[in-house]
Amino acid sequence: MKRRSPIHAYKRLLARDQDWDYAFLIALEKKKLQRMHDYFKHKGHLENNAIVVRDIAICIRLIDIFMQDDAAYSTWLHKSYSGELKWRKLEDGMYELDDSDSKPLADFPVYVNVRNERRFFYSTPIRDAQTEGHRDHAIHLITSLRQQKALHLYHLIREYRLMTWWD
Q: Residue 79 pLDDT > 90, yes or no?
A: no
End-to-end Cα, the chain, rounded Å: 29
Question: What's the pLDDT at 7?
Answer: 79
**Pairwise CA distance, residues 99 & 84, whole Å:** 11
**Do 145 and 112 touch, CB atoms closer than 8 A?**
yes
pLDDT band with cut points at 50, 70 and 90 for residue 101: low
Lowest mean pLDDT among 5-14, 29-38, 144-153: 5-14
**pTM value?**
0.83
